[in-house]
Every structure is written in structure tokens, then in C-alpha cells.
């Protein structure tokens, strides 16, 4: 199944079921008014959502209309918890090498994860208001999962059973603020403004074998101002989503609608490029002695789309512009 | 005004207005069904809530009943954002001194703040399920504020205008997990299980002059297993809540219902004791060469109550027991 949230007068928007080809949509109102409602009552509502999805694909769903991703909020425009990992160790190792920082303790055996802000997610075509160009504006292409209720102390295997939906994420970062916040030990805060999402949240079966071992094994194509920036694949994630969920739930339960992110998709092969500017800069430092690529400027755009070998784009497209905030 | 949330079949509970003396309550259903609803529509609903509050105080509110704090969830049983500072620098300085760690950069001029989990807050008398006694179970007595919508880049002065309600917090910590998480730079995560709240969320006018300079200037009395542990005062907070809110909103807007915490209340005078075990242990290390006080065990209780000179307890009481989680 494929879902999206259309913007409405409510901060939670309105849930629509979207056809497999992404062309048509229909309100799920009679079944679940919002995405958070659907995820919280998943066992109860998913059979009816499935029937509606099949009707939509067959062209028999009443009240269907053309789906326009520009009308979309994030699939969950806000939720109660957002936890973002850094599960592609290649990315972390590059960062350490370039900045000559102390290695993160237990990096190979315990996932690193920060608690993010979940009160204000941006939609796939929303402008991204930020206060200052000099803060090192960067995109980060990621995959993520939306989970059901997860009990404290869950095993990675049982945790993975709680994956309800897959999502594609653009985790905005302000790189100049990061090092100071890391040095406090309190972690990322101001360096992580509102996170953005591709329009479609999908059940794992929608990508067939590309969902395996708890990973989204698709290329994530990233363009900055219309130019190729990278297309790393999700297969090289060093921890599965099951392992990441279990990490998050070690000392507390997770509520339904919790979003768990993979961290920047990153591959060891240099030829596939990167999914964030910081990583390209780090590679420049290692290979050429200094960073040559700057960060984003107001007016710049970034486009991200996960694609399979047949050219299908199961999550739709993130295409955003950075603008100066009005305050 | 005083508010509480009674547990119900909904995860958001049911909002009640509570009388000034804490004895009676009345459902606010006709005005706002839940606390998050009230905070989101504050300008619209607060006049009617005020009328109901006055009726309750005068004994004329229809349908009022005896208020039982044991029926309470946290005032916001869940919300979209929880940001906790460490705004009593005395606490941070003691920690640094005892552990001989690098000073936190800009500690005197930029607040430190971590993003906490807001999906599962505990009520004032809820048991606290935790997986393992060996993790260094600790309480932390704090004050906090619930804010309305805050724009990005707000000034501390304008930020303080967005304080809707004051709360009293018990921010549980697992101390043995903290240092490793701080060393990763990603910040607190597993070391911060679900946070607990005293039953009453109150408008600042309820404490009169004890709310001034953006601080809750009350003693916070803490007892561990029925024995005095400390009663530090909120006046020594080194940053005002306005400054903390502005810090949180530097690179993003904050949604209504965001909770901002002060961090452990801590005073320079040793005689007033501490509001968390870690601080007492640190003082023992400094004064006696080693920590003599252990952390909490399963079955232990902690009681916290803010009190004014007349013995009024405007937030009610936190009284919780630590238990082993069932998984």
C-alpha cells in the first residue's frame, strides 16, 4: 500500500491512499482520517485500507482524484517521536578521518542515534526556511521506517515486525553548529532544523526484494541545483532497521508513529557520490587536502528520489528550495 | 488556573480544571477535551476555562468532583516536543569537577539542551519500569514550561510571552549509560527513559511573585525512600525560561505544546541538598574522595514537591516507585 497526507486546515492533514503508479489518490476518511490514526490502529484499519488500495489500482474506488505531490505534507506532518541513527558506518568513518576526531566508542557494535524534533516535519516540496546562510546548510538523504507500538527491551527480530511503513527522508543539517553541540555531549539540537519527507509512505511489500535484511536496498539519487550529486544504495547500512528500533527501545517503549531514520546513505565506492555535502567535503579534504565544495545558499534546490532498476520511484520525489526565514 | 489530565481510554487522557486548593475538579470537555487541544487553541479557549476555574473555586461549577491525583496522567501525557536544558550551572560545574572532564564549551553564555522523548510521559504516581538496576537509576527534580507556538528566531523576551503553563518534572536518568552517549557526540538517548510530571500544570499567576525573571522561585523538596534528600530553589537558574525557549527556537519554530525543562534544580549552598543522586555523589567525591551513595534499587520511591513559604504545593506531588520492566 501507498499513503500520503494532503495538507489541510489540521496540522495532521488528511490521509489518502495513493495508487501503485502514483497517479491517483482517494481519501481514507471513512477508515482513518490521518496517518497517525492509521498507524495507531493499524491492525484494525489495514484490511479496509488494503481493499481501498486495490479498488484504487483497479480504477473502481469512488471519489478518486489525480494525485498531486505538491499538495502533500510529510506523510506524518508531526508525530510523537523521531529518532535518527547514523547506520552507514562508511559516512562516520570518513568524518572521523577528515576531522581527525576521536573515534566514536563502540561504533561497530552499538548504533549511534539522536533524538530529533518531531513537531514540525516539512513536505516534499515545501521551502526550507533557515535563519542564516553561514550556518553550513546541508541536505542528508536517508531512509526511514514508521513503527507500531514497540515494547521496552524488544529483540531486533521482533522489532522489525513492528515496521509498518517505509519513508524517504531529507534530514536538514546546519553543519557549522554541529561540532560545538557534539562537544557539549548533549548532542545535536540547533544543528537539526525541521526534517523533510518524500510524499509516499509505503508498506515494505511495495518494493519487493529491495526490502530485505531490514534494509531499503535502493539507490537514492540526489541532485543539487539540478546537477548529479550521488546515488548511494541503502544496502550497505551496517545495522538493520530491526537493530535500530531495538536500540531505541532498550530503556523505554516506543509509541506507534515513531519514525526511525537510517542516517545519511553512504557507500564505500567513491563513484556513487554522496547523499550530503559534508561527506563530499570530507572526501575532498582526504583526497585533495581541502574542502572545495561549499554549503547551500538561499535559493538553492535539492532533489532526492529512490529508484529501482526499472526506474520506479516508490516514495516519490523530494524537491526543495532553501529560503531565508522571515524573522 | 490549574489543570490536570485524568487517565482515560485515549492516550491523551481527559482535561480537567482543578480548584486553587487542589480539592475539586471538573471536566473541561465542552471547552477543550485534552490539554494539547487547550494549549493549541489557548487564545480561543482560555477565557472560558478561566470562567470555569472561577466557578469551581466558588463551588458553583456543575459536575465537579473530588480531585484525586492518583487518577492523573502527566498534564500532557504525550506531546510533539520535549527539550530539556541544564540551566543550573552549579550542577554542571560540580559534574565537571568530580569527573575532571573537559569544560562544556560556552557553558556560561549558551544554554545546553537536549532533545528528549515526548511520546510517553508518566503520571505523578505511575510506577517507573526500567530494565536493569545496574544502569544507575536516578531521579532529577526540575521545573518546566509548556509553550504556545513560537516562531523561529524569537527573542528571549518575546519567547517568555509564549509560556502558557508551568510544570514540575521528574526527569529519570540511567547514569551508567550517560557517559558513553555523551562521548559519541550524539547526546543522551538510552540514558533518558520516560519522563514523569507532577499532576498540575498551572498558569504562572498561580505562584504570584515566585514566578519572576522567567524562573520558578520555589523550593523543590525531594525525598528518597521517605528521607530528606534536598530542597534546592529554582531562583538560581542561570538562564531564564525565555532564554531557553529562544535557544530552542533559534533554527526552527516550536509547535504549541512543546515542553522546555530547566534541568536539575541545583543550588550553590551545600546545606539545601540536591535534586538528583548524581549530584550528591559528585559532592561526596569532591569532599570525601569517593561516592558513598548508591543509585536507586527496584522498589525504591522518590517524592518531589515544590512548596512556597506558606506550605502551598502548587504543582501537587510526584511520588513514584521504580520497578523492573516486564520484558
Mean of the pLDDT values across residues B168-187? 94
- Nearest chain B residue to A326, by CA: B152
**The pLDDT of residue A217:** 98
Alpha carbon B127 to its chain's center: 17
Q: Are B83 and B258 in contact (CB under 8 A)?
A: yes
Q: Which of B82-96, B130-144, B164-178 has the lowest mean pLDDT?
A: B82-96
Exposed (0-12), middle (13-18) or buried (19+): which is A132, by Cβ within 10 Å? middle
Cβ <8 Å between A106 and B180: yes
Letter string b/e over residues A102-112, b meaning 16 or more CB atoms within 10 A of that residue's CB: eebeebeebbb
Cβ <8 Å between A80 and B83: no
Q: How many Å lie between the alpha carbon of B18 and the closest alpha carbon of chain A?
A: 27
Residue B107 and residue A181: Cα distance in Å, rounded? Answer: 11
Q: How many Å lie between the alpha carbon of A155 and the closest alpha carbon of chain B?
A: 10
Mean of the pLDDT values across residues B173-190? 94
Cβ <8 Å between A11 and B250: no
Which bin fits B45, alpha (ψ -120 to 50), beta or left (φ > 0)? Answer: alpha
pLDDT band at B287 (very low <50, low <70, confident <90, very high): very high
Residue B111 and residue A163: Cα distance in Å, rounded? Answer: 36
Annotate chain A with three-state secondary structure: CEEEEECCCCCCCEEEEECCCCCEEEECCCCCCCHHHHHHCHHHHHHHHHHHHHHHHHCCCCCCEECCHHHECCCCCCCCCEEEECCCHHHHHHHHHHHCCCCCCCCCCCCCEEEECCCCCECCCCCEEECCHHHCEECCEEEEEEECCECCCCCHHHHHCCEEEEEEEECCEECCCHHHHHHHCCCCCCCCCCCEECCCEECHHHHHHHEECCEECCEEEEEECCEEEECCEHHHCCCCHHHHHHHHCCCCCECCCCEEECCCCCCCCHHHECCCHHHHHHHHHHHHCCCCCCCECCCCEEEEEEECCCCCCCCCEEEEEEEECCC
**pLDDT over 90 percentage in chain A:** 94
Q: What is the pLDDT of residues B192-249, one digit of tens each?
A: 999 999 999 999 999 999 999 999 999 999 999 999 999 999 999 999 999 999 999 9
Residue B183 and residue B41: Cα distance in Å, rounded? Answer: 41
Taking one residue from A and the other from B, the number of pairs with CB-CB distance under 8 angstroms is: 163
Please tell me which of the candidates A118, A151, A154 has its beta carbon nearest to residue B80: A118
Query: Of all helices (H) and strands (E), which one includes residue B34?
Result: none
Q: How many Å lie between the alpha carbon of A145 and the closest alpha carbon of chain B?
A: 16
Q: Dihedral of CA A154/A157/A162/A164: which sign?
A: positive
**The pLDDT of residue B46:** 98
Residues of chain B with Cβ-Cβ distance to A251 below 8 Å are 130-131, 135, 174, 177, 190-193
**The pLDDT of residue B18:** 98
Mean of the pLDDT values across residues A59-78? 98
Is the pLDDT at A222 greater than 90? The verdict is: yes
- Nearest chain B residue to A153, by CA: B327
Residue recorded with cell 550556518: A135
Cβ <8 Å between A327 and B104: no
Cβ <8 Å between B180 and A105: yes
**The pLDDT of residue B327:** 63
- Nearest chain B residue to A116, by CA: B115
Structure pTM?
0.97
Residue A61 and residue A34: Cα distance in Å, rounded? Answer: 19
Mean of the pLDDT values across residues A46-51? 98
Please tell me which of the candidates B78, B106, B117 has its beta carbon nearest to residue A252: B117
Neighbours of B111 (CB within 10 A): 23
Number of helices and strands (H, E) in chain B?
Answer: 7, 20
Task: Provide the angle, in degrees to the nearest 10, between the axes of the packed helices A277-288 and A89-99.
Answer: 50
Calculate ∠ Cα B213-B39-B276, nearest 5°.
55
Q: Are A186 and B86 in contact (CB under 8 A)?
A: yes
Is the pLDDT at B98 greater than 80? The verdict is: no
**The pLDDT of residue A327:** 63
Running DSSP on this structure, what letter comes out for residue B270?
A: G
Residue recorded with cell 559528585: B282
Cβ <8 Å between B152 and A135: no
B265: number of CA atoms within 13 Å, CB side?
28
Cβ <8 Å between A186 and B189: no
**The pLDDT of residue A96:** 81
Residues of chain B with Cβ-Cβ distance to A118 below 8 Å are 80-81, 118
Query: Of all helices (H) and strands (E), which one includes residue B266?
Result: none
Residue A197 and residue B255: Cα distance in Å, rounded? Answer: 18
Q: What is the pLDDT of residues B4-39, one digit of tens each?
A: 999 999 999 999 999 999 999 999 999 999 999 999
Mean of the pLDDT values across residues A305-327? 95
Q: How many Å lie between the alpha carbon of A62 and the closest alpha carbon of chain B?
A: 32
Residues of chain A with Cβ-Cβ distance to B80 below 8 Å are 78-80, 118-120
Please tell me which of the candidates B86, B182, B251 has its beta carbon nearest to residue A131: B251
Running DSSP on this structure, what letter comes out for residue B42?
A: H
Cβ <8 Å between B135 and A251: yes
Residues of chain A with Cβ-Cβ distance to B247 below 8 Å are 190
- Nearest chain B residue to A178, by CA: B185
Letter string b/e over residues A281-297, b meaning 16 or more CB atoms within 10 A of that residue's CB: bbbebeeeeebeeebbe
Q: Are B318 and B170 in contact (CB under 8 A)?
A: yes
- Nearest chain B residue to A248, by CA: B190
Residue A33 and residue A47: Cα distance in Å, rounded? Answer: 15
**The pLDDT of residue B101:** 74
Q: What is the pLDDT of residues B35-44, one digit of tens each?
A: 999 999 999 9
**Contacts for B238 with CB less than 8 Å, ≥ 6 apart:** B87, B88, B89, B108
Cβ <8 Å between B11 and A255: yes
Domains delineated in chain B: 2-71 (no CATH), 82-324 (3.90.850.10)
ipTM reported for the complex surpasses 0.90? yes
**Contacts for A207 with CB less than 8 Å, ≥ 6 apart:** A166, A216, A218, A308, A314
Neighbours of B313 (CB within 10 A): 16
Cβ <8 Å between B152 and A174: no
Which of A117, A174, A178, A194 would best serve as a mutation to test chain B binding (most B beta carbons within 10 A)? A117
Mean of the pLDDT values across residues B294-321? 97
Residue recorded with cell 519514525: A259
Residues of chain A with Cβ-Cβ distance to B184 below 8 Å are 104-105, 112
Is the pLDDT at A124 greater than 70? The verdict is: yes
- Nearest chain A residue to B195, by CA: A252
Residues of chain B with Cβ-Cβ distance to A95 below 8 Å are none
**The pLDDT of residue A305:** 98
Residues of chain B with Cβ-Cβ distance to A149 below 8 Å are none
**The pLDDT of residue A72:** 98
Q: Are B245 and B161 in contact (CB under 8 A)?
A: no
Cβ <8 Å between A114 and B187: yes
Beta bridge partners of B173: B138
Residues of chain A with Cβ-Cβ distance to B152 below 8 Å are 129, 131, 325, 327
Is the pLDDT at A98 greater than 80? The verdict is: no
Residues of chain B with Cβ-Cβ distance to A191 below 8 Å are 251
Is the pLDDT at A99 greater than 80? The verdict is: no
pLDDT band at A48 (very low <50, low <70, confident <90, very high): very high
Nearest Cα neighbor of B54 from B78, B87, B20 is B20
Query: Of all helices (H) and strands (E), which one includes residue B58?
Result: helix B42-58
Own/partner long-range contacts of A12-16 (Cβ < 8 Å, ≥24 apart): A12/A36, A12/A77, A12/A78, A13/A73, A13/A77, A16/A67
**Contacts for A30 with CB less than 8 Å, ≥ 6 apart:** none
**The pLDDT of residue B115:** 98
* Residue B122 φ then ψ, to 5°: -100, 150
Residue B304 and residue B168: Cα distance in Å, rounded? Answer: 9
Q: What is the pLDDT of residues B51-60, one digit of tens each?
A: 999 999 999 9
pLDDT band at A65 (very low <50, low <70, confident <90, very high): very high
Residues of chain B with Cβ-Cβ distance to A127 below 8 Å are none
- Nearest chain A residue to B178, by CA: A185
Which of B115, B155, B177, B245 would best serve as a mutation to test chain A binding (most A beta carbons within 10 A)? B115
Mean of the pLDDT values across residues A278-303? 96
User: Per-residue DSSP letters for B85-138?
Assistant: E---HHHHHHHHHHHTPPPPTTTTTS--EEEEP-S-PBPTT--EEES-GGGTEE
Cβ <8 Å between B187 and A185: yes
Q: Which of A18-27, A263-272, B101-110, B315-324 has the lowest mean pLDDT?
A: B101-110
**The pLDDT of residue A100:** 72
For chain B, the C-alpha Rg in angstroms (whole number) is 19
> A163 to each of A49, A114, A200, A201, A205, how far by Cα in Å?
17, 19, 15, 12, 11
Average pLDDT score, chain A? 96
**The pLDDT of residue A209:** 97
Q: How many Å lie between the alpha carbon of A266 and the closest alpha carbon of chain B?
A: 18
Residue A163 and residue A161: Cα distance in Å, rounded? Answer: 6
Which of B251, B255, B260 would best serve as a mutation to test chain A binding (most A beta carbons within 10 A)? B251
Residues of chain B with Cβ-Cβ distance to A181 below 8 Å are 185, 187
- Nearest chain A residue to B245, by CA: A190
Q: Are B189 and B296 in contact (CB under 8 A)?
A: no
Amino acid at each position: 500500500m501507498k499513503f500520503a497526507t494532503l495538507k489541510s486546515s489540521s496540522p495532521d492533514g488528511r490521509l489518502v491512499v495513493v495508487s501503485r503508479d502514483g497517479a491517483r489518490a482517494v481519501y481514507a476518511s471513512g477508515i482513518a482520517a490521518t496517518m497517525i490514526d492509521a498507524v495507531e490502529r493499524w491492525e484494525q484499519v489495514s484490511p479496509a485500507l488494503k481493499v481501498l488500495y486495490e479498488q484504487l489500482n483497479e480504477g473502481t474506488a469512488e471519489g478518486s482524484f489525480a494525485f498531486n505531490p505538491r499538495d502533500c505534507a510529510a506523510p506524518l506532518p508531526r508525530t510523537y517521536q523521531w529518532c535518527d541513527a547514523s547506520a552507514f558506518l562508511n559516512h562516520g568513518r570518513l568524518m572521523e578521518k577528515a576531522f581527525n576526531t576521536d573515534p566514536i566508542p563502540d561504533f561497530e557494535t552499538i548504533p549511534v542515534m539522536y533524538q530529533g524534533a518531531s513537531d514540525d516535519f516539512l513536505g516534499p516540496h515545501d521551502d526550507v526556511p533557515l535563519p542564516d546562510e553561514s550556518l553550513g546548510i546541508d541536505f542528508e538523504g536517508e531512509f526511514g521506517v514508521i513503527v507500531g507500538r514497540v515494547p521496552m527491551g524488544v529483540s531486533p527480530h521482533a522489532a522489525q515486525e513492528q515496521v509498518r511503513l517505509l519513508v524517504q527522508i531529507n534530514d536538514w543539517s546546519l553543519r557549522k553548529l554541529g561540532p560545538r553541540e557534539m562537544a557539549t555531549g548533549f548532542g545535536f539540537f540547533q544543528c537539526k532544523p525541521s526534517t523533510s519527507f518524500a510524499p509516499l509512505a509505503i508498506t515494505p511489500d511495495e518494493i519487493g526484494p529491495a526490502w530485505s535484511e531490514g534494509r531499503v536496498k535502493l539507490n537514492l539519487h540526489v541532485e543539487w541545483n539540478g546537477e548529479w550529486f550521488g546515488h548511494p544504495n541503502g544496502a550497505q547500512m551496517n545495522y538493520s532497521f530491526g537493530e535500530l528500533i531495538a536500540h531505541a527501545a532498550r530503556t523505554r517503549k516506543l509509541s506507534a508513529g515513531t519514525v526511525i531514520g537510517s542516517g545519511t546513505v553512504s557507500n564505500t565506492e567513491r563513484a556513487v557520490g554522496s547523499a550530503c555535502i559534508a561527506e563530499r567535503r570530507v572526501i575532498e579534504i582526504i583526497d585533495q587536502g581541502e574542502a572545495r565544495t561549499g554549503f547551500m545558499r538561499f535559493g538553492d534546490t535539492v532533489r532526492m528520489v529512490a529508484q529501482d532498476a526499472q526506474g520506479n520511484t516508490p516514495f516519490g520525489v523530494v524537491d526543495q528550495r532553501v529560503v531565508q526565514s522571515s524573522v
